Structure formats: structure tokens, C-alpha cells
Amino acid sequence: MDEPRSGRMSGLRCLRIRRAARRLEFVGVLIACCSAVALYRYGAWAEWTNLTLGCWAVFAPFLLGFGSAQAAMWTHVLVGLCVATIAIIQLSSGSKAQMASSTKSGGR
């Protein structure tokens, strides 16, 4: 009698992992598209969007209920942290460059 129940549990877990993978693929496509557009038309909007998507990837496993699927959860968290960190670095370097250029032009 335990076999069907454990089979159902395995099926539910597999379904959660598939859904988590689809969500991560969707977020990955959005990040890639945003970054590709930023190559042609750069703006802080691209980094803010990537920062938001990275934060979403970090919190999605817990908000959407697949935090118990360890592999999917850690993949989301690590990818999200990498994307968010790179976006923060880009935002801070962009603001430093902008401050440096305004300082140079203001002194003339």
C-alpha cells in the first residue's frame, strides 16, 4: 500500500522540478533578451531590470513553493545571486563613471 503513495510523491516532486525548470528558463530568456537589447541601446534600465529578475530568481523557490526541491532551489538562488551581483556592479560602475565625467566637465 505504500508503493502507490510513494509513487505519487515522486510524481509530484518531478512535476515541481519541471515547473521550476520552466520558470528558470523563462527568467533566463528575459535576462538574455534584456542584456541583448542593452548591447544596442544601453541604459540603467537594463541593469535595474536584471537586478529585479535576479532578485526574483532568488526568492521564487520560496514564494512559489518549490523550495523543497533542493537542486531547483539552489540553481535558482545561485543564478539569481550572480545576475543581481553583476547588475549591482554595473550600476555602481555606471554611476561612478557618470560622476567622474560630470566632475571633469564642471571644472572647465
Give every CB contact of residue 106 below 8 A, 6+ residues apart in sequence.
Answer: none
List the domain range (segments joined by +) for residue 62: 2-106
Q: Enter the C-alpha cell of residue 41.
A: 541601446
Number of structural domains found in the chain = 1
Cβ of 19: how many Cβ atoms within 10 Å?
15
Q: What pLDDT, in 10s, does the model give residues 72-83?
A: 889 889 999 999
pTM of the entire structure?
0.69
Q: What is the pLDDT of residues 52-70, one digit of tens each?
A: 999 999 998 888 877 777 8
HSE on the CB side for 32, CA within 13 Å? 6
